[in-house]
Amino acid sequence: MRLDGRVAVITGAGSGIGAASALAMAKEGARVVVVDLNEASAKATVEQIEKAGGQALAVRADVTRATDNQMIVEKAVAAWGRLDVFFANAGVPQSPENVEDVDEALFDRIMAVNVKGVWLGAKYALPVMKKQRRGVFLITASTAAIRPRPGVQAYAASKGAVVTLTKSLALEAASHGVRVVSIAPVATETPMLPAFMGKRVVDDEGRARYVATVPRLRRRGDDHGHLRRSGRRPLHMTGSPTLRR
């Protein structure tokens, strides 16, 4: 198994890409700290992992808080003695709106979760990895960072910020044997998709219209690119956003 004996922290792991990643990494042998603001969702992911024979720990945390990020890392190390993968996946979406109609509080929330939350994760995870002289810090970016869509300017800016943050952190971490990589997925069928579509739920008409605008609409769990980037083999890859189509 590619991640046998490794310890992984995944934020936003109660649903969507985070939950799928937690299940996939556990299947490959990782012991997973499942982090989510919704404790019930985190526990549900852990239950699925344990039913499949894996090991996992549910942690409720707000990634915008420094104390919560510190606590996440401390729990991982206390439980299993190491930290090999930190997947900063938690994020919030933006429904399409003209910039003049976007509430300032929404902008602040998007930046707090999508940018500050990643930075805080790195602040507490990277020192552990540097000391170990091994580890991978993964970040969920988005194709919006590179090919933004109309009306989601705050979200696109937040993902552009983490792509640049990836490069900066990678330069800092490289001499310690630690890699930093961002993954830029296209539209994925997760609980966030309705917001991106400006709908309450994803209906057949909305899905068909959205699918027509992207190369391929991926379903939850359809992409295991995070495994390839967190395992032993891609030692040459750091600092680069990887497009997932």
Alpha-carbon dihedral 97, 102, 106, 107, rounded to 10 degrees: 100
The phi-psi region of residue 177 (left if phi > 0; otherwise alpha if psi is between -120 and 50; otherwise beta) is: left
Distance from C-alpha of 125 to C-alpha of 77, rounded to nearest angstrom: 10
Distance from C-alpha of 215 to C-alpha of 57, rounded to nearest angstrom: 36
Distance from C-alpha of 135 to C-alpha of 229, rounded to nearest angstrom: 11
Provide the residue type at 75 as one letter.
K
Asked about 155 being catalytic, the answer comes back as yes
Question: Which is catalytic among the residues 80, 124, 155, 196?
Answer: 155
**CB neighbours (10 Å) of residue 202?**
16
**Cβ-proximal residues to 5 (8 Å cutoff; 6+ apart), any chain:** 29
Name the residue among 45, 41, 34 with its Cα closest to residue 76.
34
Active site residues: 155
